[in-house]
């Protein structure tokens, strides 16, 4: 079954509690500032919420906790690949999404037979400082040509208004962060996203 085309990323289970009832079916939990039992509780809570709403949870980075919590997906950045035990992730039956920014990273990602490949930032992003400037829609088209049937996620500076262009360029899935979390009415924005990606 193909993955949903709308893929928000949040930093707490509380965001999932707010948005899953609206119809979000694929969501990433990206937590950077917690560890130990607090981190485990957040991921376990997020997994329970996703199961209750028939949604798919993708855990960013924390692959060992994801295995322990019985999660189905993990997303790794290139730095995470340096330390992650990919064999253990696969043995646990977990599917894998990988970030890419240039050809060398894409080549490395494809060696791990990813279940999706993310390219970003498609547009300038305020979320984090990167050495890569905007990749542009043409790069999405190139990436899709290179990866074939593997789902391609467009991330970075994405908005409801830019989603159609990303899909036309070759993206299968569009991911959003600040377009939702910094919106004056995040729930209304999520509904707009669901409408634009249905």
Alpha carbon distances (Å) from 32 to 4, 66, 95, 150: 25, 15, 21, 27
Residue 174 neighbours by CB under 8 Å, 6+ apart: 5, 6, 7, 153, 154, 155, 158, 163, 166, 167, 197
Length of the chain: 198
Look at residue 136 in the predicted model and tell me its pLDDT.
Answer: 95
Q: Is the pLDDT of residue 128 over 80?
A: no
pLDDT tens per residue, range 26-75: 999 999 999 999 999 999 999 999 999 999 999 999 999 999 999 999 99
Q: Mean pLDDT throughout 98-109?
A: 97
Count the Cβ atoms, other than its own, within 10 Å of residue 129. Answer: 6
* Domain 6-197 is found in CATH 3.10.620.30: no
- For CA atoms 165, 167, 170, 171, the dihedral sign is positive
Look at residue 57 in the predicted model and tell me its pLDDT.
Answer: 98
Distance (Å, whole) CA 177 – CA 125 = 10
**Both tokens assigned to 133:** 């400037």
Look at residue 44 in the predicted model and tell me its pLDDT.
Answer: 97
Look at residue 33 in the predicted model and tell me its pLDDT.
Answer: 93
**Both tokens assigned to 188:** 């209304």
Q: Is the pLDDT of residue 127 over 70?
A: no
Q: Is the pLDDT of residue 137 over 70?
A: yes
Q: Is the pLDDT of residue 14 over 90?
A: yes
Distance (Å, whole) CA 78 – CA 179 = 24
Res. 125 pLDDT band, cuts 50 70 90: confident
74 beta partners: 59, 96
Q: Is the pLDDT of residue 134 over 70?
A: yes
Look at residue 130 in the predicted model and tell me its pLDDT.
Answer: 61
Tokens 């600040």: give the residue: 178
Res. 129 pLDDT band, cuts 50 70 90: low
74: region left, alpha or beta (phi > 0 left; psi from -120 to 50 alpha): beta
Res. 1 pLDDT band, cuts 50 70 90: confident
Measured CA angle at 156 (ends 165, 64), to 5 deg:
125
pLDDT tens per residue, range 80-102: 999 999 999 999 999 999 999 99
Collapsed DSSP state (helix, strand, coil) of residue 117: strand
Question: Across the chain, what does the average pLDDT equal?
Answer: 95
Distance (Å, whole) CA 21 – CA 33 = 26
């Amino acid at each position: 079954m193909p993955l949903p085309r709308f893929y928000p990323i949040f930093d707490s289970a509380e965001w999932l509690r707010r948005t899953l009832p609206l119809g979000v079916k694929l969501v990433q939990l990206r937590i950077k500032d917690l560890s130990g039992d607090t981190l485990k509780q957040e991921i376990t809570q997020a997994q329970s919420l996703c199961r209750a709403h028939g949604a798919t949870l993708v855990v960013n980075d924390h692959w060992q906790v994801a295995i322990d919590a019985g999660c189905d997906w993990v997303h790794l950045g290139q730095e995470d690949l340096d330390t992650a035990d990919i064999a253990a992730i696969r043995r646990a039956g977990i599917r894998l999404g990988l970030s890419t920014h240039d050809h060398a990273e894409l080549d490395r990602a494809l060696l791990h037979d990813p279940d999706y490949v993310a390219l970003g930032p498609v547009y300038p992003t305020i979320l984090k400082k990167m050495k890569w400037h905007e990749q542009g829609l043409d790069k999405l088209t190139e990436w899709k040509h290179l990866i074939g049937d593997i789902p391609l996620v467009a991330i970075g500076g994405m908005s409801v208004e830019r989603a159609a262009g990303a899909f036309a360029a070759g993206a299968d899935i569009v991911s959003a962060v600040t377009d939702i979390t910094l919106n004056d009415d995040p729930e209304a924005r999520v509904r707009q996203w669901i409408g634009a990606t249905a």
